[in-house]
Amino acid sequence: MTDTVHEVASAAPPAAPRDPARTRRWLLALVLALLAAAVVAVWLDGRNARRQLRTEVAMRLSALDAADQTTRASLKDAQEDLREAQAKLTLLESRLAESQNQQTALEALYRELAPSRDEWALTEIEQVLQLASQQIQLARSVPSALAALQLADSKLQRLDRPQFVPLRRALARDMDRLKAVPYVDVSGISLRLDQALATVDTLPLALEERLPPQPAPAQPEDEAGWRRFLRAVWQDVRQLIRVENLDRPEAPLLAPQQQFFLRENLKLRLLSARFSLLLHDQQNFRADLSTADAWLRKYFDTHAPAVSTLQTLLKQLQATDIASEIPDVVRSLEAVRVLKLAREKPSR
């Protein structure tokens, strides 16, 4: 194969000599053509890049414009919300200022009324203590006075002021003294006296006392007529004369009008005893009951159950002690008046 190629080469005519200037021109033209192609390619590439860049920029601008519109809408909504919030905040601030003004006014009013409230409470407590003192002095009613002191102490407890502690101590001491007083059942004794008053009109007098009739002796059936006649005459004579053994002096004779006044006077004695009971007047109470008991023994039938029952009741009541000493509430009154004076001095 190599030999064949050499033979063909040796057999071919010799090539014409090349022109260097032409070759340079062709090379120059080729280089220029390549440069032009490169420039055109670069220009086309730059044009495409600019076009793509413009398209991308336009797209980004559109997106930015849409985002800007969205942002502006959101900003507008935010500004409206901000204005509403500012309006609400302004309203709340005005209401807060109004509330603070009201609170300040209320505090000032409370500061003005607080001393007056304490003064009113002290005045009311003083009136309650004066009422308790009147109950002790006039009616000698320990439960009423004790209830008044407890009411005053409850009012002081609700106020809860340190300056009221001495007054509460004085009230506690007076309440302890009242609780130590022996209990007297005034209502029960008064009720028993009322029941005794209701029975006075039914009590039998001593003049009305009658012995039971003696049974007639049995008469024999075969007794003669003159004997029967003499027996009947003898029985009639025995009824004309009555002999009794009395264990007390003879009861005085009383006219019907005197009997009426006797019963009314007995009622007055029992009423006077009840009045003395309410006053805890031991001496007059026992004196009235003793007089009533003496009248029962003198003018009434002591063998009758109603009279004996009333006598037993009067003896029981005479043994009852109703004159227990009741303490006063002067210390509590002095304590409340000292507090009132102490509060009046600064105001002067």
Q: Are residues 109 and 170 in the same domain?
A: yes
Separation CA 140–CA 13 (nearest Å): 174
142 within a domain of the structure (yes/no): yes
Residue-wise pLDDT for 121-174, tens only, equals: 888 888 888 888 888 877 777 888 888 889 988 888 888 888 888 889 999 998
Instruction: Flag whether 318 is in a domain.
Output: yes
341 and 271 in a common domain = no
**Residue 303 tokens, joined:** 């063998």
Judge if 151 and 193 occupy the same domain: no
- Residue 37 within a domain: no
Helix residue ranges, H only, 181-329: 186-198, 225-240, 256-278, 282-299, 305-318
Is the same domain home to 146 and 157?
yes
pLDDT tens digits along 173-188: 988 888 888 777 778 8
Question: Which residue segment(s) compose the domain that 195 sits in?
Answer: 183-206+252-324
Same domain, yes or no: 201 and 317: yes
Domain presence at residue 78? no
**197, 117: one domain:** no
The DSSP element (H or E) to which 118 belongs, if any, is: helix 20-134
Our count of domains for the chain comes to: 2
For residue 196, give the nearest of 69, 331, 320, 296 by alpha carbon. 296
Same domain, 190 and 300: yes
What is the Cα–Cα distance from 78 to 159, expressed in whole angstroms? 55
Angle separating helix axes 305-318 and 186-198, nearest 10 degrees? 150
What are all long-range contacts of 179-188, with beta carbons under 8 Å and residues at least 24 apart?
179/146, 181/142, 181/324, 181/325, 181/326, 181/327, 182/321, 182/324, 183/142, 184/280, 184/320, 184/321, 184/322, 184/324, 186/277, 186/278, 186/322
The per-residue pLDDT for range 267-319, each reduced to its tens digit, is 999 999 998 887 778 899 999 999 999 999 888 888 889 999 999 999 998 88
